[in-house]
Amino acid sequence: MKEAVIHLHPPGRLAALVGNPNAGKTALFNRLTGSSQKVANYAGVTIERKEGRLALASGKTVRVLDLPGTYSLHPRSPDERITCDVLLGTAQGEKRPDLVVCVLDATNLRRSLRLVLGVQRMGLPCVVALNMADLAAQRGLRIDAQALSRELGVPVVTTVAVEGNGDAALRDLLERPEVWTQAAAPVARNDDVPDHEVVRGILERLGLDTAAPHLASDRIDRVVLHPVLGPVLLAVLLFLVFQAVFAWAEVPKGVIEGAAGWISDGITAALPDGLLRSFLVDGLVAGVGGVLVFLPQILILFFFILVLEESGYLPRAAFLLDRLMGGVGLSGRSFIPLLSSFACAIPGIMATRTISNPRDRLVTIMIAPMMTCSARLPVYALLIGAFIPHRDIGAGIELQGLVLFVLYVAGIVGSLAVAWILKRTTAKGLPRPLMMELPTYHWPHWRNVALGLWQRAVIFLRRVGGIILVLTIALWVLATFPGAPADATRPAIEYSFAGMLGKGLAVLLAPIGFNWQISIALVPGLAAREVAVSSLGTVYALSGVKDNAAQALGPIIAQSWSLATALSLLAWYVFAPQCLSTLATVKRETGGWKWALVMAGYLFALAYVASFATYRIALALGWG
């Protein structure tokens, strides 16, 4: 017998925001709720649930739920299914909304209005936020909000969410529940008339049945979407981004390195030699400081990604890559999740929920970790800075940036090769054609870019103060105890638990050129890749190679390793086995450990083979 389940919902009315992707729904949600947001998952699935609280002028509070974007209430993806289930009141543990705010793109009412009709058929109170009214006006669209309200039988307010325009009118509507009740009774229509005919009639009566020209966007797209010029432009953009990652980061990186050295020297001068000084200088400063130094490069990379996203270019990039990805059995729809994986594989894997084809979704999940995530960047920057000279090779091309670009391309090429293999072995089914909206070009909203960079910096610093700090302390303990015997002739770390572990692993990793210090660093790197840098800083500080290892890790490894070893480690990190958090996410998204273990196995094999080949070729070239 099935047990009854009682769900207790928080008090207060619940308003749900519904809209097409790119309609500005989340921007409106952020404006209404500010910092009073709570992010979790919907029950039974890993789809992100965003809820906030809106304090009204009357002192009352309305809970606001930001539902996943959808084009239709006939779901074809997990995200769309959640939206539909919440509106129907069938989602597990979810209260049915008291009010639905339909966020419409004012520049594309022909598509947006169908969603309003679907919500009305569900019998839910509904109000319309006619968003992006400024862009509609720029295109010559004159929308009479009152006339549209009469046609739909629901209140309509005009908004520009990114600027905060129209917020007051929407808040006023939310103050008056009696308006909600009236909005639950839609205008009488003939149910035999399909929605697209109803929408066409509304647009005709409003004088909006002729498409407005996208003059500027059309002219730009003639170049950006050109079958030859488009891909070339995309490659040039990516190349310039990676050049900037090194060129722009020099000054802030030097400031952080100097601060780490100043702190280390201050502690050394203030404390006598002993465990406490070793813990602070060789453990915390050498470890955590060695990772913090790469924050500028991470933020520069995300600055460009956010600008391209804000400008409307990223969907064009997906369109351009559709043909390339079609050759390996995917579609351009996989581009956005894969692009998200350059930040971190976890949100990239979660973003695959928008892919309706189960076959495409599985393959995208399996290759997402091969995108070069931001956690790899500290390792790349350390090795490139130590072994690749800072040299202009002509035409303004900087050698270090070129090497970084090649590493990113290597990860992309490897992922496409794996997708091609998966298409012909494990994943069955026919790929579906790509259909997606190309938004209008516009200047980035610098407030959103700044907010995105702030969020990225906070995430990174939390990792530094969380898992990286914990693992750095743990490694210091393992690398310090037990102490060296009285007659020791080698550095004390070689007699420690970490030293013994590193030398044991070095037997397995010696064929690819890794010494015992590298072997130690790879172990905590399984929890978070950037920990490998802090681990190397701690290991070499305790090895007594140099007193100022906190700020001189690059020169230390340049003297201690061969170029062949450095290139081998770079190849390892192109395909490095995933961190434990990523494997846990794959397990949740695929419903079991099977594909998570397959992923861990094939990535380890790829990393070892790539490192072995790179090391042997480098030795043959005399780089040993």
- Inform me whether the pLDDT recorded for 3 exceeds 70: no
pLDDT of residue 430: 58
- For 452, the token pair is 């995105």
Tell me the percentage of the chain whose pLDDT exceeds 90.
13
- Inform me whether the pLDDT recorded for 438 exceeds 70: yes
Compute CA distances 349 → 333, 590, 597, whole Å. Answer: 13, 10, 15
SS3 of 361-420: the string is HHHHHHHHHHCCCCCCHHHHHHHHHHHCCCCECCCCCEHHHHHHHHHHHHHHHHHHHHHH
pLDDT of residue 128: 92
- Inform me whether the pLDDT recorded for 286 exceeds 90: no
Contact 589, 350 (CB under 8 A): yes
CA 616 to CA 624: how far, in whole Å?
9
DSSP code for 552: -
pLDDT of residue 604: 93
- Amino acid sitting at position 26: T
Q: What is the pLDDT of residues 512-543, one digit of tens each?
A: 999 988 998 888 777 777 778 878 877 877 66
Q: What is the pLDDT of residues 334-388, one digit of tens each?
A: 877 887 787 778 778 877 877 777 888 889 999 999 988 877 888 888 889 888 8
pLDDT of residue 428: 58
- Amino acid sitting at position 297: Q
- For 263, the token pair is 């702190």
Highest mean pLDDT among 174-178, 283-287, 293-297, 606-610: 606-610
- For strands 126-131 and 156-158, give the pairing: parallel
CA 176 to CA 182: how far, in whole Å?
11
CA 586 to CA 46: how far, in whole Å?
11
List the single range of 27-41, 368-382, 558-572 with lowest mean pLDDT.
27-41
Among 483, 525, 518, 484, residue whose Cα is nearest residue 501: 518
pLDDT of residue 192: 64
Provide mean pLDDT across the span 253-277.
85
- Inform me whether the pLDDT recorded for 326 exceeds 80: no
Contact 296, 252 (CB under 8 A): yes
Tell me the percentage of the chain whose pLDDT exceeds 70.
88
pLDDT band of 608, cuts 50, 70, 90? very high
List the single range of 354-358, 415-419, 555-559 with lowest mean pLDDT.
354-358
Provide mean pLDDT across the span 460-474.
75
pTM, two decimal places: 0.69
Provide mean pLDDT across the span 453-458.
83
Q: What is the pLDDT of residues 156-212, one digit of tens each?
A: 999 988 788 888 888 888 888 776 655 554 555 556 678 888 888 888 888 876 655
Q: Phi then psi for 279, rounded to 5 degrees?
A: -60, -45
Compute CA distances 360 → 69, 551, 598, whole Å. Answer: 20, 45, 17
